[in-house]
Amino acid sequence: MTSITLFGLCAAVLIGLGVYGLIVNPQPLRKILAFNLIGSGVFLFFGMIARRGAASGLGGDPVPQALVITGIVVAFSATALAVALLLRLDAAGGPSGLDDAVDGES
Amino acid sequence: MTTSGGPLLVAALLLPLAAMLAAFVLGRAQAPRVVACALPVGLLLALAILADLLCSGEALVYLLGAWQPPLGIALRADGLSAAMLLTTTVVLGVVAWFAWGDFAQPANAPEARQPLMFWVLLPAVWLALNTVFLANDLFTLYVALELLTFAAVPLVCLEGRPETLRAALRYLLFALLGSVLYLLGAVLLYGVYGTLDIAQLSTRVHPGVATWAAAVLMTVGLLAKTALFPLHLWLPPAHAGAPAAASAMLSALVVKGSFFLVIRLWLDVLPGEMMLEAGQWLAGLGAAAILVGNLVALRQRRLKLLIAYSTVAQIGYLFLMFPLAAGLVGMGLSDAPAVTGGLLQAVSHATAKAAMFMAAGLIYSTLGHDRIEDLQGVAQQLPMTVLAFALGGVALVGLPPSGGFMAKWLLLSAALTTGQWWWAAVMVIGGLMTASYVFSVVVRTIVAVDPEKMPKMAVPRYREASVLALAIFSFLLGCVALLPFEVVQVGRLGSVLP
């Protein structure tokens, strides 16, 4: 097994764990963490694709490396927004789960 | 090569960006004026792009820094982009006109967060949508999608009530899963074909395991953002809980952003034989959305939730174009009727749904509630608003001469031409169900009651007029059939055509 295959499998496992966590966990904070796990898997995948580009004699393909930085910034802002929403929800005194109470006449 | 009209595309991105930053810096008192100045300029830009497109008959291209793809990034506007740019500007213009009363506060009031954020987020949505329509590589499109999410989620919870915050958080989680799946698919395509540029991909992509995996990942991600059944669960609470002007933007425009990407992906990037197989699945989900969305809408007791579920159903119609386009190409015909029908459905739904949400907002602010069973007498109080709601409803049902009629007629005839009668049946049943809930609302509002019993809360005339203007636009949209039809075919990448 080459190191590229190993990294690819690691990425797949991370993504799988993340998707599982995102669907199964009822708590919003855990869902946000699970999203970050998927993100890590995708970024690892980016690195693997960049390394495969090295087959043509370069040290590594620079394009995925440039993309991964942007991707990390976007994922970071998304996490910040989600956590900020969660804090506001907590401060507003609502129950912290995502399930709606029965829709009242509001 | 950068075409002569290319700089217009840069202007179409810089204008909303400048408006967003200026609105944020200048603060609440000036922000509405900044947006009100920028939108007419944006309308002129969109018209200029459309005119350039029709005159030259080719797509507008701008290479950033004159770098060629795959190293450089290209902006590209074809007929689909130009039509969506124009729709976005028109709808946002009317929404800003309508929101003037809700969110423009007197200058001596203390600085409030909600109005300022509304006037910053409106150009932010505009910027993100323009980027979605003009970007020509999969990664820029990913960033544009995320920008759209970040602009749309705060709009859901502008009022800051716990239930809207919860709806916004749920929307954000769906959208984040969607975009990360899209990104994974885009990386897979890069890994196999070595480029992210759509024009280059369209010549290189061929069916295979990796291409199918990428296509499925990207499509599922985009469907979560577009709220196609069964990934629609986040939409009704998010769209129904937002303030009326924000709901109008979210329901009319934001879901169309990710839908536009589905069109780009299947029509431009992926080869036609893949669409022939996948189109049935996409349209199957669309048909389920039409039936389930309409059925649930019929059972709603609150007007805004009814309109939100109607959005779930109308999104379903958008996806019927894929097997029809593939079928037409498979018969050696042009796929123009199906693509035009799909695009016209998107434009018609955008204008009609924005008008209906704003009409519901006016009814809510007059009565203080939006319970459908207690709507009697509204037509006496707000005749223009009820007329606007009815005209919007007519466009959703698809009666002539509305845009919805033209769209459904094109899709129906494409379905019959290609022998896929089951999609035609779904469209007809969906139209009947839509008619019944629109009718049940309108009939209740025109019941006369004693004027003494009606609340005396007055709605400014200009707000009623703004809603009616958009509804009339949607109602007369079918007249574009009189124009030369080929707008959406201008500058199409040739991958689908035989």
Task: Closest CB to B187: pick one of A22, A42, A98.
Answer: A42
Whether residue A61 is contained in a domain is answered as: yes
Whether residue A101 is contained in a domain is answered as: no
Query: Based on the number of CB atoms within 10 Å of its own CB, is A102 exposed (0-12), middle (13-18) or buried (19 or more)?
Result: exposed
> What does the pLDDT read at residue B226?
92
A14 min Cα distance to partner chain B (Å): 13
Domain that holds residue A9: 3-91
Verdict on whether the full-model pTM lies above 0.80: yes
> What does the pLDDT read at residue B482?
67
Count CB atoms within 10 A of the CB of residue B368: 9
- For position A66, which CATH number holds? 1.10.287.3510
Whether residue A96 is contained in a domain is answered as: no
Q: Provide Rg for chain B, Cα atoms.
A: 22
Whether residue A105 is contained in a domain is answered as: no
Q: What is the pLDDT of residues B17-26, one digit of tens each?
A: 999 999 999 8
Q: How far apart are CA B159 and CA B154, in angstroms?
A: 9
Q: Do B187 and A45 touch (CB under 8 A)?
A: yes
Q: What is the pLDDT of residues B116-170, one digit of tens each?
A: 888 999 999 999 999 999 999 899 999 999 999 999 999 998 888 888 888 999 9
Q: What is the pLDDT of residues B440-484, one digit of tens each?
A: 888 888 887 777 666 666 778 888 888 898 888 888 888 876 665
Residues in chain A: 106
> What does the pLDDT read at residue B105?
57
Whether residue A16 is contained in a domain is answered as: yes
Task: Closest CB to A98: pick one of B170, B180, B305.
Answer: B170
> What does the pLDDT read at residue B498?
34
Among residues B397, B387, B408, B404, the alpha carbon closest in space to that of B435 is found at B397
Q: Do B369 and A98 touch (CB under 8 A)?
A: no
Chain B residues contacting A, CB < 8 Å?
A: 70-71, 139, 142-143, 146, 149-150, 153, 157, 160-163, 165-166, 168-170, 172-173, 176-177, 180, 183-184, 187, 190-191, 194, 196, 237, 305, 369, 371
Domain count, chain A: 1
> What does the pLDDT read at residue B496?
39
Q: What is the pLDDT of residues B52-107, one digit of tens each?
A: 888 888 888 899 888 888 778 889 998 889 989 999 999 999 999 888 877 655 55
At residue B28, the 3 state secondary structure works out as coil
Q: A105 pLDDT band (50/70/90 cuts)?
A: very low
Q: A103 pLDDT band (50/70/90 cuts)?
A: very low
* Residue of A23, A74, A102 for testing the chain B interface, max B β-carbons within 10 Å: A74
Whether residue A97 is contained in a domain is answered as: no
Q: In this structure, what token pair is assigned to residue B479? A: 């007249």
Percentage of residues in chain B having pLDDT higher than 90: 38
**Predicted ipTM?**
0.90
Whether residue A29 is contained in a domain is answered as: yes
Provide the residue ranges of all domains of chain B, joining segments of one domain with +. 6-489
